Amino acid sequence: EAEVAQSPRYKITEKSQAVAFWCDPISGHATLYWYRQILGQGPELLVQFQDESVVDDSQLPKDRFSAERLKGVDSTLKIQPAELGDSAMYLCASSFQLGATGELFFGEGSRLTVL
Partner 1 sequence: DAKTTQPPSMDCAEGRAANLPCNHSTISGNEYVYWYRQIHSQGPQYIIHGLKNNETNEMASLIITEDRKSSTLILPHATLRDTAVYYCIVSYQAGTALIFGKGTTLSVSS
14, 100, 113, 115: which one contacts partner 1 (CB under 8 A)? 100
44 is a contact residue toward partner 1 (CB under 8 A): yes
Interacting stretch for partner 1, rule CB under 8 A, among 18-26, 38-46, 69-77, 79-87? 38-46
| The residue type at 86 | D
23, 31, 69, 114: which one contacts partner 1 (CB under 8 A)? 31
d(CA 2, CA 57): 27
56 is a contact residue toward partner 1 (CB under 8 A): yes
Interface residue list for partner 1 (CB under 8 A): 4, 31, 33, 35, 41-45, 48, 50, 56, 91, 93, 95-109, 111
